[in-house]
A and B are shown apart, each in its own frame.
Chain A
């Protein structure tokens, strides 16, 4: 069966010839019509549409957006803030970049609708420091939208006012974590806050209720408000509504971004039919399905269990290629859909070296406030780097596992999990490669093999 066709709702105009990122082009394509209608509706109605839609956050955790909005403390009398999380930095993820560079007004419209629905008067777009052009494009787009009355004072003549400003990060991955992002926006080190009590919905930016949503999530809000929550649930699969943008990188013929209805495409269809399969003469070996912290999948392994289909429980017996690409299926087999970043590795890759690369990333990016994470990520990096560049020992696999097992659940934020999942899953699935690495190193590497660390 061939792979289903792409369903581009968020990426509808990405890479479209002649489509430019300025306001006139956006207006020509029906831009800001949804906002104009939205501001005439009761805000609660908009929140209800988002709840009905089942929209799950696209930043990585897949938390239901409507529930997130429902948790906001609206009785405190404090201002409510909204922050767009545009700190796209989970390795393997590169979708928000294209929205901000090529279709910034889509994001601004989605943001304004969300601000109106939640009675927000001031919002920020927190964009990665490494996207200076993206920041400039957004600033220009905001200025255009402000001049046209879509942002700022008296929006669409309704008397409702809300401004949006761009705030640039400065190269720290941890700013993608929402409480770290809030600290950073307050002008501090991005050390995540402990929950409870610092749930952003109650004690967020400046200790006020705050909504933090991913770029893609807010674009979905625009679509939902335009077409209705019910219509959105008809896209995708139950509990995994709407579309998902997959960012495929690594060893496939056609890496890139692809938008499909959630759960309607399997890993095998995505990699073989859409991305053209492995490079000539090579075979797929492993794939990380949702950003580099997601647990790795090994080609050839089977996943078995029972899952709910409608009202029934049915048995499933899947290979890697059979797994539907949605939050629930990937969660069920012990990994996650995360941010949609799919990293593919073929049979030229040595898994010890791939893990060493990932460990170097997490060790560099740990904010350092929790000892298990700061020291654990550093030691995992030191061990895997030594294995590659120094002496590899048979007992290293057990040592790595022991370090990784001591981090999750003992840290303030989910970085503890994020940095230990790669080590835990690589050791569990490719343990022999770690045990035999000392011998494997004695054989000279083919020159076409990439250096990974």
Chain B
């Protein structure tokens, strides 16, 4: 595991929040995933050793919770709500619009590596449906037009970044892409 020192610090801190170390399983998995972008091989061994557990105890947690992933995703994670209140006002069209914009299918990384579009269950913002979570940010009332403008924004940011990295190519890229 190749974690940033800030992540390691947070890991040691969060373990102190619980009288029983095992409770820190979910927080540790979140911290590792936020650092690396996904939960790489040997995560279960590393977390188990840290918390005094067996790797199977961690593995069964990783496979249970939908937010944990074993494979890299695109640079941006677009989660479109699929559940009833959003679907009633066009959530399926919103999801299709994002797929079309990035020439991808839900659950896959787009060919340019820029995004992963996922269809997820209720995001608890049904009054402003359809809603979309892009990385940590909630976007409300995302109809097709708004999905297009959000996509345009992501594409524009990608263009700026690729120009910058062309100028300073020695700078390492985010680990998500490796």
Contact B30 A341 (CB under 8 A): no
Residues of chain A within 8 A (CB-CB) of B78 are none
What is the CA–CA distance of A402 and B78 in the complex, to the nearest angstrom? 38
Residues of chain A within 8 A (CB-CB) of B127 are 94, 247-249, 255-257
Contact B88 A452 (CB under 8 A): yes
What is the CA–CA distance of A128 and B93 in the complex, to the nearest angstrom? 26
Residues of chain A within 8 A (CB-CB) of B26 are 167-170, 184, 187
Q: Does A290 have its Cβ within 8 Å of any Cβ on chain B? A: no
Asked, given contacts A88-B124, A94-B127, A170-B68, whether A188 binds B84 with beta carbons under 8 Å apart, the answer is no
Q: Does A206 have its Cβ within 8 Å of any Cβ on chain B? A: yes
What is the CA–CA distance of A169 and B53 in the complex, to the nearest angstrom? 20
Residues of chain A within 8 A (CB-CB) of B89 are 250-251, 450
Asked, given contacts A188-B61, A251-B88, whether A130 binds B124 with beta carbons under 8 Å apart, the answer is yes
Residues of chain B within 8 A (CB-CB) of A189 are 60-61, 64
Interface string of B64-103 (1 = CB under 8 A from A): 1111100000000001001111011111110000000000
Contact A361 B60 (CB under 8 A): no
Interface string of B15-28 (1 = CB under 8 A from A): 00111101111110
Contact A364 B121 (CB under 8 A): yes
How many residues on chain A are close to B (CB under 8 Å)?
A: 57
Contact A170 B124 (CB under 8 A): no
Which residue of chain A is the closest to B47 with respect to CB atoms?
Answer: A187
Asked, given contacts A170-B29, A190-B64, whether A357 binds B87 with beta carbons under 8 Å apart, the answer is yes
Contact A343 B126 (CB under 8 A): yes
Within the complex, which residue of B19, B23, B84, B138 is in contact with A292, where a contact is CB–CB below 8 Å? B84
Q: Does A232 have its Cβ within 8 Å of any Cβ on chain B? A: no
Q: Does A20 have its Cβ within 8 Å of any Cβ on chain B? A: no
Within the complex, which residue of B18, B29, B83, B137 is in contact with A91, where a contact is CB–CB below 8 Å? B83
A-contacting residues, B1-55, CB 8 Å: 17-20, 22-27, 29-30, 51, 53
Contact B85 A186 (CB under 8 A): no
What is the CA–CA distance of A256 and B126 in the complex, to the nearest angstrom? 8
What is the CA–CA distance of A364 and B66 in the complex, to the nearest angstrom? 10
Q: Does A376 have its Cβ within 8 Å of any Cβ on chain B? A: no
Contact B90 A186 (CB under 8 A): no
Q: Does B123 have its Cβ within 8 Å of any Cβ on chain A? A: yes
Q: A270 CB to closest chain B CB, in angstroms?
A: 13
What is the CA–CA distance of A88 and B122 in the complex, to the nearest angstrom? 10
Contact B64 A172 (CB under 8 A): yes
Contact B84 A452 (CB under 8 A): yes
Q: Does A349 have its Cβ within 8 Å of any Cβ on chain B? A: yes
Residues of chain A within 8 A (CB-CB) of B79 are 130
Interface string of A431-453 (1 = CB under 8 A from B): 00000000000000000001111
Contact A451 B87 (CB under 8 A): yes
What is the CA–CA distance of A434 and B61 in the complex, to the nearest angstrom? 39
What is the CA–CA distance of A60 and B122 in the complex, to the nearest angstrom? 16
Output the residue of A248, A257, A349, A450 with the most chain B CB within 10 A. Answer: A450
What is the CA–CA distance of A100 and B124 in the complex, to the nearest angstrom? 13
What is the CA–CA distance of A77 and B71 in the complex, to the nearest angstrom? 46
What is the CA–CA distance of A132 and B133 in the complex, to the nearest angstrom? 10
Contact A165 B60 (CB under 8 A): no
How many residues on chain B are close to A (CB under 8 Å)?
A: 48
Contact A187 B23 (CB under 8 A): yes
Q: B64 CB to closest chain A CB, in angstroms?
A: 4
Q: Does A365 have its Cβ within 8 Å of any Cβ on chain B? A: yes
Contact B124 A89 (CB under 8 A): yes
Q: A290 CB to closest chain B CB, in angstroms?
A: 13
Q: A181 CB to closest chain B CB, in angstroms?
A: 12
What is the CA–CA distance of A97 and B66 in the complex, to the nearest angstrom? 20
B-contacting residues, A341-400, CB 8 Å: 341, 343, 345, 349, 354, 357-358, 360-361, 364-365, 367
Output the residue of B124, B136, B137 with the most chain A CB within 10 A. Answer: B124
Q: Does B120 have its Cβ within 8 Å of any Cβ on chain A? A: yes
Q: A293 CB to closest chain B CB, in angstroms?
A: 11
Within the complex, which residue of A90, A165, A249 is in contact with B129, where a contact is CB–CB below 8 Å? A249
Q: A348 CB to closest chain B CB, in angstroms?
A: 9
Contact A91 B126 (CB under 8 A): yes
Interface string of A164-204 (1 = CB under 8 A from B): 01011111110000000000111111100000000000000
Which residue of chain A is the closest to B86 with respect to CB atoms?
Answer: A249
Asked, given contacts A92-B126, A130-B124, whether A451 binds B92 with beta carbons under 8 Å apart, the answer is yes
Q: Does B125 have its Cβ within 8 Å of any Cβ on chain A? A: yes
Contact B124 A133 (CB under 8 A): no
Residues of chain B within 8 A (CB-CB) of A341 are 126
Q: Does A93 have its Cβ within 8 Å of any Cβ on chain B? A: yes
Residues of chain A within 8 A (CB-CB) of B53 are 187
Which residue of chain A is the closest to B28 with respect to CB atoms?
Answer: A187
What is the CA–CA distance of A90 and B64 in the complex, to the nearest angstrom? 19
Q: B126 CB to closest chain A CB, in angstroms?
A: 4
Residues of chain B within 8 A (CB-CB) of A156 are none
What is the CA–CA distance of A113 and B175 in the complex, to the nearest angstrom? 45
Output the residue of B51, B82, B122, B133 with the most chain A CB within 10 A. Answer: B122
Residues of chain B within 8 A (CB-CB) of A345 are 88
Could you list some 6 contacts between A and B, CB below 8 A? A91-B85, A171-B121, A185-B23, A188-B25, A206-B20, A361-B83
What 8 A-B pairs are tightest by C-beta distance, nearest first? A187-B25, A170-B65, A249-B126, A249-B85, A171-B67, A171-B66, A187-B22, A451-B92
Additional A-B contact list (5), CB under 8 Å, known A89-B121, A248-B127: A93-B124, A130-B120, A184-B26, A206-B20, A361-B122
> Footprint of A on B, CB under 8 Å?
17-20, 22-27, 29-30, 51, 53, 57, 60-61, 64-68, 79, 82-85, 87-93, 120-129, 133, 136-138
